[in-house]
Amino acid sequence: MTNLPKSNRRQFLKAGALLGTGLVISFVVPARITKFGESAEPDPVASFAPNAYLSIGSDGGINVLLSHVEMGQGIWTTLTMLIADELDADWKNIHVHHAPPGQPYMHTLYGLQITGGSSSTWSEFDRYRQAGATARMLLIAAGAKKFGVDPATCKTENGMVISGEQKASYGDLATLAASLPAPAKVELRPASDWKYIGKGLKRLDAPAKVNGTAKFGMDMQFPGMLTAVVAHSPVMGGTVKSFDATAAKAVPGVKAVVQIPTGVAVLADHFWAAKKGKAALKITWDAGANASFNSVTQMEKYRALAATKGLPALNKGNVESALSQGGKVIEASYDFPYLAHAPMEPMNCTVKLGADKCEIWTGTQLPGIDQAVAAKILGFKPEQVSIDTVFLGGGFGRRATPTSDFVAEAVHIAKASGKFIKMVWTREDDMQGGYYRAAFHHKLKIGVDNNGYPTAWNHSIVGQSIFEGTFLSMLVQNGIDSSSVEGIADSPYMTEVKDAYVGLHTTKLPISVLWYRSVGHTHTAFVMETIIDQLATEAGKDPLEFRRTLLKSHPRHLAALNLAAEKAGWGKALPAGHFHGIAVHESFLSFVGQVVEVSVTNGRVNVHKVTCAIDCGLAVNPDGVKAQMESGIIFGITMALYGEINFKDGKVQQTNFHNYPILRMNESPEIDVHIVASTEKMGGAGECGVPPTAPAIANAVFAATGKRIRKPPFASIT
Amino acid sequence: MVYKLKVNKKDYSVDATPDMPLLWVLRDLLGLTGTKFGCGMAQCGACTVHLEGEAVRSCVTLIARAAGKEVTTIEGLSPDSKHPLQVAWLEEDTPQCGYCQSGQIMAAAVLLRENADPTDEDIDHAMSGNICRCGTYPRIRKAIHLAAKLQKQGGTK
């Protein structure tokens, strides 16, 4: 399975307009769609495409097209479940594909085609069920027509339309169904009829991921394709002054060397030859503006800036006056380093450039932006550029760059060389090539009442903006990038604080920064949950009870906090030398509480167990939600203990996994996840597991050592 | 120069320089892309294959060392994707992005062959060379225990 047949393409176009999703612009049919990464072969069968999200072939094969991409979070399965619950399809006939760039696949809220913000399930909950329900109604209408009966007498079951003794398969009815008008009104099944939603399904992408057949961008191979490896400036943002490719071209297998805006690319028969060619290049670099950039001295500047008043993200009462009344004031400041996303699959992109079309294969969270960026570089219209999104070997935000950096670089190589190329970054390119979670500094002064509860809160935040100058610049209002202050300006702990000022200093630096799994909450949750813990212990109160008091008007926070505490046995005896730490945080519309069990031996932090509770409203695929909590927690432990990117003289100091460690099996704790039974508004699952983990560990470390952590990472406590 | 290789019980001749790592021979010369490139310096384990039955990091195993020996990749682990580990991996819904999973399974296969009933400590020891950025470790651990059980119940290699 399958290249979509031509008739099918027209159906998609027609259906997109019918569904009221607007004019179909820049709709490009993928050059090759594969089922679970199997090799493509033509599918000659006629088919029925009631909308842009699914089609049914006369052979009974059902193609589901996903507007969101699979990068590990399980959306391949979850969106398909939504269709299947309405369609009554036979699972063995369902084939899942990533959609090409196109109007019907725009995010239902964000207005562009994007996988991000932990929004795929809730934002598609109605649209994908609607797609399945529409198809089912048309199939019933076709069945009724074929049987000569009233549609009301027909039911569906496992890919069949049935009326009395008569039955016909969806495949048999596909052609007839395609000729019928779209129903005026589509009713969705009540929750009581759901077979999959809320119950779950095994991952549909897993079989191909256990036998090596799943295809990632890195695995694209075509006859005549060359592999391109790029020499990038060692100083971020530097440019090529001059280069000598004589020795590189002499390496067996090297076919061409071309200069591109971001460096020099070596094209060869295979990766190894290209890599050797790159090593043989002699390049003189112009280091540019970053030659003296140093992250240590930069943080010193941030600290000085934090002492001055930033732009208001929250301003109520009069915090200066409140803090000068002579009551108890607690002060703290925090440093957060740059972080690399470091997905397991290094960045890569395959480009085949023709006279009037360009075909691109890559794993991307932003196919529409990539298409537009590629078209601009080539002087093409977007519809002349196809994007075939294959499995992403991890995303975490890195495969969603507003500049489409890795796609743009590959297109430049194809354009400069005239060759069909797969650009492959090494791990070093990936780690040093930019796009980091921004470094941040926080400075706090908190006035507390006689019981230790906060009454005045002065909070200064310093760091770079990720939204400014991007397609999400509307998220910068009055100089406040919402992602720099999320989790603080809107913190539930601020509810009862009478006098508060949250000030933001947005720094402008030539270091490329980007959203990162759980975005601003990566640092804001750490600050809030460790400082609240400190207020509790300074007041001589239990950290759980202290939070319960402050969160009394926030039932979803409380539910997650209480369930995690109960399941972890908060307050009960632990093995000697083991200590609990707790945290709760809302992000991406979901509420997550965690209790972490930690020991500190010879200054080394060991995480033994994490107990987690999440309220995400309806959990469409509960085991998928649990998997995302496990994933987020382990991501959070890596961030807490190891994550750190440093610059010296404009050069990233970390290069590979030996000096940018990722948590390993032997350090991985037992994880126990519980889902709060909830009928509240649906939230996300992909990111919200991350924020509470690092502060909960830090709070446990305090319980163990009496030391407050102000500067992650903290694998070693000295 | 020309090297003779035996990969997944099939004979191949490849023309390569002696310093070419087995990883790139498998991927770029033989088209066996199930074995993944993650770091290029034996740090992440995504490229794990079996050389004469032992788990090696193919990104630092030169072709000269592999020539003439039996190489097994994820594509050759079982003829029908029914190795107890593959069955258990699905049962525990283990993969997420999936990129590291070939290497994880190949590392676990040697553990399970050598140790029919591995403890958590055995799993830590055998699997700590394989990074998973999605954090599927808890499920990998469960899947290895389950595979051990399946193997004992007569699951075949």
The 3-class SS string of A296-346 reads: HHHHHHHHHHHCCCCEEEEEECCHHHHHCCCCCEEEEEEEECEEECCCCCC
Final residue in a domain of this structure, among A424, A450, A474: A424
Average pLDDT in the A146-157 region? Answer: 97
CA angle, A530 then A531 then A536, to 5°: 100
Over range A142-163, report the average pLDDT. 97
Domain boundary among A166, A191, A209: A209
Residue B21 maps to a domain: yes
Nearest alpha carbon to residue A266 among A278, A253, A283, A282 = A278
Residue A10 in this model has a pLDDT that exceeds 70:
no
For chain A, what is the radius of gyration of the CA atoms? Answer: 27
Kindly state whether residue A46 falls inside one of the protein's structural domains.
Answer: yes
Q: Percent of chain A scored above 70 by pLDDT?
A: 94
Residue B44 belongs to what domain range? 2-75
In chain A, what residues touch B105 (CB-CB under 8 Å)? 210
| Same structural domain, B6 and B55 | yes
pLDDT at A385 over 60: yes
Q: Which SS3 state, helix, strand or coil, does residue A35 take?
A: coil
| Domain match, A372 and A451 both | no
Is residue B46 situated within a structural domain? Answer: yes
B 41-100 near A (Cβ less than 8 A): 41, 43-44, 46, 73-75, 77-78, 81, 85-86, 89-90, 93-100
Pair (B14, B64) in one structural domain: yes
| pLDDT at residue A25 tops 70 | no
Per the structure, the count of domains in chain A is: 3
- Which residue from A minimizes the CA distance to B129? A664
Residues 6+ apart with CB under 8 A from A25: A103, A382, A383
Of B75, B107, B136, the residue that ends a domain is: B75
Residue A429 lies in a domain: no
> A351 with A454, same domain?
no
Q: Looking at residue A92, what is its pLDDT?
A: 86
Structure tokens at B56: 């090696």
- Cβ contacts (< 8 Å) between B40 and chain A: which residues? 426-427, 656
Q: Please give the residue range of the domain that contains residue A251.
A: 217-288+347-424
Contact between B102 and A212 using a beta-carbon 8 Å cutoff: yes
Element (H, E) at A606: strand A604-615
Residues A122 and A246 in one domain: no
- In angstroms, the first-to-last Cα distance of chain A is 58
**Are residue B117 and residue B134 in the same domain, yes or no?**
yes
Domain membership of residue B52 (yes or no) is yes
**Domain annotation covers residue B34:** yes
Question: Which pTM was predicted?
Answer: 0.94
Task: Report yes or no: A77 and A204 within 8 Å, Cβ to Cβ.
Answer: yes
Is A154:A143 a contact under the CB 8 Å cutoff?
A: yes
- Establish if A135 belongs to a structural domain: yes
Residue B41: pLDDT over 60: yes
B71, B88: one domain:
no
Of all residues in chain A, what percent carry a pLDDT higher than 90? 90
Nearest of B24, B100, B14 to residue B59 by alpha carbon: B24
How far is residue A370's CA from residue A404's CA, in Å, rounded to a whole number? 5
Say if the Cβ atoms of A665 and B28 lie within 8 Å.
no
Instruction: Give the rounded distance of the alpha carbon of A127 from its chain centre.
Output: 21
- Residues A685, A642, single domain; the answer is yes
Give the model's pLDDT for residue A45: 57
- Which residue among B75, B100, B122 closes a domain? B75
- Of all residues in chain A, the one with the smallest CA distance to B136 is A631
Q: pLDDT at position A49, please?
A: 87
Task: Give CA–CA dist A375/A567, Å, rounded.
Answer: 53
Question: Is B128 within 8 Å of chain A by CB?
Answer: yes
Assign B119 to helix, strand or coil: coil
Place of tokens 């050389």: B51
CATH of the domain at B61: 3.10.20.30
- Is B157 domain-assigned? no
**A693 found inside a domain:** yes
pLDDT, residue A697, reads 99
Chain B residue numbers with beta carbons less than 8 Å from the beta carbon of A666 are: 124-125, 127-128
Whether residue A72 sits in one domain with residue A188 = yes
Residue B115, domain CATH: 1.10.150.120
Indicate whether A162 and A281 sit together in one domain.
no
In a domain, A716, yes or no: no
**Nearest CA to A611 among A594, A626, A588?**
A594
Residue-wise pLDDT tens digits, A63-95: 999 999 999 999 999 999 999 999 998 888 999
Pairing status of strand A651-652 against strand A647-648: antiparallel
Residue A104 inside a domain? The answer is yes
Would residue B29 count as lying in a domain? yes
Whether B65 and B92 map to the same domain: the answer is: no
Beta carbons of A132 and A85 less than 8 angstroms apart: yes
Q: What is the pLDDT of residues A577-616, one digit of tens each?
A: 999 999 999 999 999 999 999 999 999 999 999 999 999 9
A266 with A164, same domain: the answer is no
> Binning pLDDT at 50, 70 and 90, where does residue A50 land?
confident
Selecting from B98, B99, B134 the residue whose C-beta is nearest the C-beta of A631 gives B134
Segment 567-606 of chain A within 8 Å of chain B by CB: none
CA distances from A691 to A340, A435, A600, A672 (A): 16, 20, 22, 17
How is residue A113 annotated by DSSP?
-
Mean per-residue pLDDT, B134-146: 98
Q: Are residues A37 and A140 in the same domain?
A: yes
A41: confidence class by pLDDT, cuts 50, 70, 90: very low
Position A8 pLDDT exceeds 90: no
Q: For residues A592 and A529, state if they share a domain.
A: yes
* Domain-located, residue A615: yes
Residues A121 and A262 in one domain: no
- Write the pLDDT tens digit of every residue in A417-475: 999 999 999 999 999 998 999 999 999 999 999 999 999 999 999 999 999 999 999 99
Decide if B62 is inside a domain.
yes
CATH code assigned at A320:
3.30.365.10
Average pLDDT over residues A495-508: 96
- Nearest-CA distance from B2 to chain A in Å? 14
Of A173, A232, A662, the residue nearest A423 (C-alpha): A232
Within this chain, do residues A332 and A405 fall inside the same structural domain, yes or no?
no
Q: Which of A396, A424, A452 is the last residue of a domain?
A: A424
Domain edge (last residue) among B41, B75, B109: B75
- Segment A129-140, tens digit of pLDDT: 999 999 999 999
Mean predicted confidence (pLDDT) in B44-61: 98
Per-residue pLDDT at A11 exceeds 90: no
To the nearest whole angstrom, how far is the Cα of A393 from the nearest Cα of chain B? 5
pLDDT attached to residue A46 = 60
Task: Name chain A contacts of B132, Cβ cutoff 8 Å.
Answer: 344
- Whether A646 maps to a domain, the answer reads yes
Interface confidence, given as ipTM, is 0.98
Pair A239, A270 in one domain: yes
